Amino acid sequence: MTDNLIYGPVPSRRLGFSLGVDIVPYKTCSYNCIYCQIGPTPETTIERKPYISAEKILSQLYKRLKENIYPDFITLGGSGEPTLNSEISDIIKGIKTYTDVPVAVLTNGSLLMNDDVRKDICGADVVLPSLDACDESSFLKINRPHSRLVFEETVYGLIEFRKVYQGEIWLEIFIAEGINSNESMIRKFKQWTDRIKPDKIHLNTAVRPTAESYVYTVPVEKLAYFCEILGKKAEVIAPFKKASKNEALNDIRKKILSMLDRRPCTLSDISSGLGCHHNEILKFVDPMLKDKHIELLYINGKMFYQKHGKIIPEKG
């Protein structure tokens, strides 16, 4: 893993060009979602502490902002659950005193039941929480939360947050075929979203490799129908279309292909091999998978990327 806490700007389907800031160590999270694109959580946690100090994060960020970059958002999140960092409020304040670039927080929302957490992220311009389950049983199945987290309490946190937060809330619902994709579940979601009152509801599905190989994509027509059920604020997250402002990043694609030419690699292998953040790498491997330049390979439950058409190595 790279020590660099800042990555991008990377194209984001929801935030345009987003400058990512990792404020917790890789996979420090209260959930172990079956769809997580950066892999499984070794051990879930709900302990808040200064995993990485505000001082260290801000000094790296200020340095990066002095370079010639034009992000649409500075986004806290990426490698885990950002509200676990107990200095998140200082981090947001530090960013706001330095730049006018709006601040977004990507959170799974699990800690918003805690009054302090709600206060700590009120300084952000946009908060993008997740709600992937409509009841306790789907919560356990999809998010595989820390043992002390209870579904209705997490939703309560979102409802309470709406009451105190003046900025925009863009709620994300991840739909996995056969898991939370039937109409009666979507109608249950609607009951919760009516109470949470987000500004937008974004429906997402598996467009990238996921932590578990049994997470399947929901067809876009079905997602569009679910949007009708959820009401006017709901939309399917559209593919990213804006042209890149940073041509130098195209080099990474070549480097990834050259690594995979030698052997299949995990996301972490590529990330550490190229000294790039795993989220940055994901932005490149997505289109390469779609164009069939590379493909996925699961060995002993671990996900690897390999060049398309390479011979699959024997297991074990």
Cβ nearer to ligand SF4, comparing 89 with 279: 279
Neighbouring C-beta atoms of residue 163, cutoff 10 Å: 8
Interface with ligand SF4, residue 80, by CB under 6 A? yes
| Choice from 10, 19, 29, 281 touching ligand SF4 (CB under 6 A) | 29
| Cis bond before residue 219 (omega within 30° of 0) | no
Asked whether the beta carbons of 252 and 284 are under 8 A apart, the reply is yes
Q: Is 157 in the site for ligand SF4 (CB under 6 A)?
A: no
Q: Regarding beta strands 16-21 and 6-12, do their DSSP bridges make them parallel or antiparallel, or are they unpaired?
A: antiparallel
Complex with ligand SF4: residue 29 or 88, whichever CB lies closer? 29
Residues near 173 by Cβ (< 8 Å), separated by ≥ 6?
Answer: 130, 131, 132, 189, 201, 202, 203, 204
> By CB under 6 A, what part of segment 101-140 binds ligand SF4?
108
Provide the minimum distance between the beta carbon of 32 and ligand SF4 in the complex, in angstroms, as a whole number: 5
By C-beta, is 206 or 260 nearer to ligand SF4?
Answer: 206
Would you count residue 180 as binding ligand SF4 (CB under 6 A)?
Answer: no
In the complex with ligand SF4, the residue whose CB is nearer, 93 or 144, is 144
Closest approach, Cβ 31 to ligand SF4, in A, equals 4
Q: Which of 23, 36, 169, 274 binds ligand SF4 (CB under 6 A)?
A: 36
Closest separation in Å from C-beta 41 to ligand SF4: 5
Query: Phi, psi at residue 226, to the nearest 5°?
Result: -60, -35
Q: Which is nearer to ligand SF4, 20 or 94 (CB)?
A: 20
Chain length of the chain: 316
C-alpha 210/C-alpha 303 separation (Å) is 9
Part in contact with ligand SF4 (CB under 6 A); list of ranges 30-38, 202-210, 219-227, 282-290: 30-38
Contacts of 147 (CB under 8 A, 6+ apart): 44
Instruction: Check: CB of residue 101 under 8 Å from CB of residue 48.
Output: no
81 binds ligand SF4 (CB under 6 A): yes
**CA 6/CA 69 separation, integer angstroms:** 12
Interacting residues toward ligand SF4 by CB under 6 A: 29, 31-33, 36, 41, 80-81, 108
